[in-house]
């Protein structure tokens, strides 16, 4: 048997106070898709950083094609044929798509860029990545996040690497984008590339993977051919215990109408047509589904007063709410945003400050911020939600995604809202923490909160909602309740292929 | 995805105006539009004075020194940095040019080359510090701004030296409305334009300023790019110093004072983002033309020169308010 395309043995990486990787092995063979699985904080990101030369390991050995290597920077990794599509977008918004695809691998002759060859190479790569229709001169910043992700994949294609790491490449994709991605991955594997595929969507493992490696708490749990990994085994090994029910029982909603929306139309390009009518009762959880760009987020952002309305009224408990964030918060409508790290939290602030950010008056008697009250407030929320932190002074950016999300929730709940809006509440959060977030949301609804959440994950929409709205092309295409809620019907409505579309 | 990326046909007029303004700033059209407006105003205000060959040559001469430092600043700002030392570098270069030549024709060429090398060396120091430490370019070049000016004062506190006739000619001769010195700026513009838009280095400059971490992980040699950018900025500042000496025929320890702020003004008015990654060369050149016009029209219209700073402040704020592209989100 030939040497593996990539072989890591006994990798150890320590950070102050935590061992991120503790003797992890990983063996990837040419032509195979290797799914790397684990909760957030299991060590996947650290492993990616080591394999791509962004961070040196403290101990351990790395072999590429049988030769021991040291990757001291990303250029060294690229030179050894290891490239990556990172979880965070690394598309440069001010450069054209072409320049982004060719970045770091520009073709030049006698010092000048060779325009024709650059364009041809980029075009070919874009076509393989499923962006054949895109004009390479388009400024990358004008593309949707999903399209930008595909641009990154095109960039990796141009490199012709032997080992390709894909760190949650599908997180932003759905529908066509996802199929294009899967087709590209299979094609690359057929060409003999070793692919390391990181994902939180476990159904992808079955669709794509040849081998599976599961990490937990920085350690290797198990590795083997994908056939030996049914979904429940993966979940058990990732979480370290059986998760029998990810979704909690939902309590019956009350009778009181809390949120009432009439003819709501978000402002912006293409604002036209009939607006949205929606009534949410106390204790009711409404899920909003739809493909990327269908207007899910825009709907929630408009309700929260973050985006202006073109038309329509919003009333909470019978009183109208003006279209501003301030008015919405005062009326008890709060939004847990999709962009947790930029819109939900100030990452450099300690956790206690983020917890009280929106209700700072409550811990400032006489206008003076009381450190003791702030700490007490934080500790109360920590205990209520089981937030795992080293202390009230820990910078929020150091927390895992799940714990960060709990801080955002706590921050808004301290303002005593009546309507809780959640945009992609579990994006980038591992399964264990997801279940906790679901339990928290169900509990809040049982206490009488009206909840509206948008999600691109169908199991989440079907599992957590009393009622589901499906958006398509900026409008609400249909509403499903009770037994009608299933993934198939939602997809039909989302794609506009349903006869029951209203 | 087409639904997300396609521009909407029925956007309200206000949004379209904002988009047009931001596009104008992005492409550098905005600065030129103001230049055209100002030219129209000056034509009306003083038709006999403005369009004379001598006055046009005056305006164009004013663009040369400013343009040279602005080109360097343009590159540095594109990487997300700033170079506060270009005025001091120009001063030192002007002073040394005059003192080292001291009237001997044979020394002219070697002295100029030595000055360009000096500027490049200053740039290497800046680049290495900025690339290899976490000290921001602002702080690094603020310190060298004082250091280099201090060295100039140690060499001489009074104007001294003497350039040769030939060099003075480059600084002052004109053919009709075209000063000879404009050729120096034209050459520099051509070189920078090709570097920026037709080479790998140019792409890397844009990438480093857009997101250094992303550029690094894409295999862009970030440190090398930064060093090279500061080297070019230093060299251009030194060239500006040589032109200052040529125009004054002597070297003054105050020759380049304030040039760093003028250069930043020009780049900002040209629509560049001080955060890096976005700047248009046409815009920066428009900014150079604008500032040169403003400065030279004070004498033309016999306005008090003391009002110059007021006008500058107003121009910067107006340009920023009008043309700073607003970020749109879906």
User: Closest Cα partner for A453 from A250, A312, A187, A309?
Assistant: A250
Question: How big is chain B, counted in residues?
Answer: 330
A144 vs B216: CB contact, 8 Å cut-off? no
Per-residue model confidence (pLDDT) at position B9: 45
How far is B23 from B27, CA to CA, in rounded Å?
Answer: 6
Q: Within a domain: residue B17?
A: no
Q: Within a domain: residue B1?
A: no
At A60-95, the pLDDT tens digits run 999 998 899 998 888 899 999 999 988 777 889 889
Q: Within a domain: residue B42?
A: no
Q: In this structure, what CATH number is given to the domain that contains residue B73?
A: 1.10.3470
Q: Within a domain: residue B282?
A: yes
Question: Domain limits at B78?
Answer: 49-320
Which site among A103, A181, A268, A474 would you substitute to test the B interface, given the most B Cβ atoms closer than 10 Å to its Cβ? A103
Per-residue model confidence (pLDDT) at position A1: 61
Per-residue model confidence (pLDDT) at position B200: 94
Q: Is B216 on the interface with A (CB under 8 A)?
A: yes
Question: How big is chain A, counted in residues?
Answer: 502
Per-residue model confidence (pLDDT) at position B326: 47
Which site among A45, A84, A92, A167 would you substitute to test the B interface, given the most B Cβ atoms closer than 10 Å to its Cβ? A92
Per-residue pLDDT band for A269 (boundaries 50, 70, 90) equals low
Among chain B residues, the shortest Cα distance to A155 is held by B218
Q: Which of B1, B218, B221 sits opposite A155 (nearest CB)?
A: B218
Per-residue model confidence (pLDDT) at position B18: 74
Q: Within a domain: residue B221?
A: yes
Which site among B201, B219, B278 would you substitute to test the A interface, given the most A Cβ atoms closer than 10 Å to its Cβ? B219
How close A386 gets to chain B, by Cα (Å)? 34
Q: Choose the weakest-confidence range: A41-55, B86-100, B202-216.
A: A41-55
Per-residue model confidence (pLDDT) at position A242: 53
At B83-125, the pLDDT tens digits run 999 999 999 999 999 999 999 999 999 999 999 999 999 999 9
Two tokens, residue B207: 């990438």
Q: Within a domain: residue B30?
A: no
B330 vs A144: CB contact, 8 Å cut-off? yes
Two tokens, residue A2: 């030939």
Per-residue model confidence (pLDDT) at position A320: 93
| Whether this model's pTM surpasses 0.80 | no
How far is B62 from B291, CA to CA, in rounded Å?
Answer: 9
3-state secondary structure of A410: helix
Q: How many contacts (CB atoms, under 8 Å) link A and B?
A: 102
Mean pLDDT of all residues in A407-420: 95
Instruction: State the ipTM, two decimals.
Output: 0.81
Question: Which B residues in the span 5-24 are in contact with A, Cβ-Cβ below 8 Å?
Answer: 5, 7-8, 10-11, 15
3-state secondary structure of B301: coil
Per-residue model confidence (pLDDT) at position A472: 81
Query: How many structural domains are present in chain B?
Result: 1
At B19-41, the pLDDT tens digits run 777 777 777 788 898 899 989 98
Q: At what angle do helices B308-323 and B29-45 cross, to 10 degrees?
A: 140
Q: Within a domain: residue B176?
A: yes
* Cβ within 8 Å of residue B10, ≥6 positions away: A269, A270, A272
Q: Within a domain: residue B192?
A: yes
């Amino acid at each position: 048997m030939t040497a593996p395309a990539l072989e890591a043995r006994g990798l150890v990486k320590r950070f102050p106070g935590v061992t991120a990787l503790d003797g992890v092995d990983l063996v990837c063979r040419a032509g195979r898709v290797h799914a790397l699985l684990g909760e957030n904080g299991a060590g996947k990101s650290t492993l990616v950083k080591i394999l791509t030369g962004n961070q040196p390991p403290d101990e351990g050995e790395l072999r590429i094609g049988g030769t021991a290597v040291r990757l001291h920077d990303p250029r060294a990794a690229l030179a050894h044929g290891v490239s990556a599509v990172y979880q965070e977008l690394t598309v440069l918004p001010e450069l054209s798509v072409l320049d982004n695809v060719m970045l770091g691998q520009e073709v030049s002759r006698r010092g000048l860029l060779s325009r024709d060859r650059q364009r041809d190479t980029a075009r070919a790569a874009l076509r393989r990545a499923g962006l054949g229709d895109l004009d390479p001169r388009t400024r990358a910043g004008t593309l949707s996040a999903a399209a930008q992700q595909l641009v990154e994949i095109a960039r990796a294609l141009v490199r012709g690497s032997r080992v390709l790491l894909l760190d949650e490449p599908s997180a932003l994709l759905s529908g066509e984008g996802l199929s294009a991605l899967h087709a590209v991955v299979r094609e690359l594997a057929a060409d003999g590339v070793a692919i390391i595929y990181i994902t939180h969507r476990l159904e992808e493992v079955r669709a794509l993977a040849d081998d599976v490696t599961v990490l937990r708490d920085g350690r290797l749990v198990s590795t083997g051919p994908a056939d030996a990994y049914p979904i429940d085994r993966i979940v058990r090994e990732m979480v370290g215990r059986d998760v029998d029910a990810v979704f909690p029982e939902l309590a019956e909603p009350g009778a009181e109408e809390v949120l009432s929306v009439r003819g709501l139309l978000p402002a912006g390009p293409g604002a036209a047509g009939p607006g949205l009518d929606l009534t949410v009762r106390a204790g009711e959880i409404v899920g909003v589904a739809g493909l990327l760009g269908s207007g899910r987020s825009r709907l929630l952002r408009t309700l929260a007063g973050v985006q202006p309305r073109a038309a329509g009224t919003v009333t909470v408990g019978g009183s109208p709410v003006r279209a501003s964030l301030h008015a919405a918060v005062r009326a008890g409508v709060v939004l847990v945003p999709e962009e947790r790290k930029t819109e939900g939290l100030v990452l450099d602030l300690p956790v206690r400050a983020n917890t009280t950010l929106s209700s700072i008056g409550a811990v400032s008697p006489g206008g003076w911020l009381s450190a003791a009250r702030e700490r007490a407030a934080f500790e109360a929320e920590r205990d209520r939600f089981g937030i795992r932190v080293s202390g009230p002074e820990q910078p929020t950016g150091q927390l895992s995604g799940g714990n960060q999300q709990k801080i955002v929730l706590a921050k808004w709940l301290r303002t005593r809202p009546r309507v809780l809006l959640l945009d992609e509440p579990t994006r980038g959060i591992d399964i264990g923490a997801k279940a906790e977030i679901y339990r928290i949301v169900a509990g809040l609804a049982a206490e009488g909160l009206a909840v509206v959440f948008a999600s691109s994950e169908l199991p989440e929409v079907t599992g957590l909602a009393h009622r589901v709205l499906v958006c398509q092309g900026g409008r609400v295409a249909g509403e499903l309740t009770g037994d009608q809620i299933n993934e198939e019907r939602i997809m039909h409505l989302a794609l506009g292929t349903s006869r029951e579309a209203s | 995805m087409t639904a997300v990326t396609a521009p909407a046909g029925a956007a309200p007029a206000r949004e379209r105006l904002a988009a047009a303004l931001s596009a104008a700033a992005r492409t550098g059209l905005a600065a030129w539009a103001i230049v055209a407006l100002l030219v129209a105003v000056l034509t009306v205000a003083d038709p006999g004075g403005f369009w004379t060959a001598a006055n046009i040559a005056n305006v164009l001469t004013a663009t040369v020194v400013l343009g040279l430092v602005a080109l360097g600043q343009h590159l540095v700002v594109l990487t997300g940095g700033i170079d506060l030392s270009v005025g001091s570098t120009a001063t030192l270069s002007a002073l040394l040019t005059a003192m080292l030549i001291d009237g001997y024709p044979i020394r002219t060429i070697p002295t100029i080359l030595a000055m360009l090398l000096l500027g490049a060396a200053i740039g290497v120091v800046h680049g290495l510090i900025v690339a290899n430490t976490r000290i921001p370019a602002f702080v690094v070049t603020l310190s060298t701004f004082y250091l280099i000016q201090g060295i100039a004062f140690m060499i001489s506190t009074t104007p001294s030296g003497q350039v040769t006739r030939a060099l003075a000619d480059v600084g002052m001769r004109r053919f009709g409305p075209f000063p000879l010195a404009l050729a120096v700026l034209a050459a520099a513009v051509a070189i920078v334009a090709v570097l920026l838009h037709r080479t790998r280095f140019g792409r890397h400059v844009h990438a480093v300023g857009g997101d250094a971490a992303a550029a690094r992980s894409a295999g862009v040699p970030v440190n090398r790019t930064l060093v090279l950018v500061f080297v070019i900025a230093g060299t251009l500042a030194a060239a500006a110093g040589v032109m200052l000496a040529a125009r004054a025929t002597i070297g003054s320890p105050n020759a380049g004072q304030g040039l760093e702020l003028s250069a930043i003004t020009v780049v900002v008015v040209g629509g560049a983002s001080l955060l890096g990654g976005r700047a248009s060369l046409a815009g920066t050149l428009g900014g150079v033309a604008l500032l040169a016009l403003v400065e030279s029209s004070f004498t033309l219209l016999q306005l008090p020169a003391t009002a110059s700073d007021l006008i500058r402040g107003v121009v910067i704020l107006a340009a920023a308010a009008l043309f700073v592209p607003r970020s749109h989100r879906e």
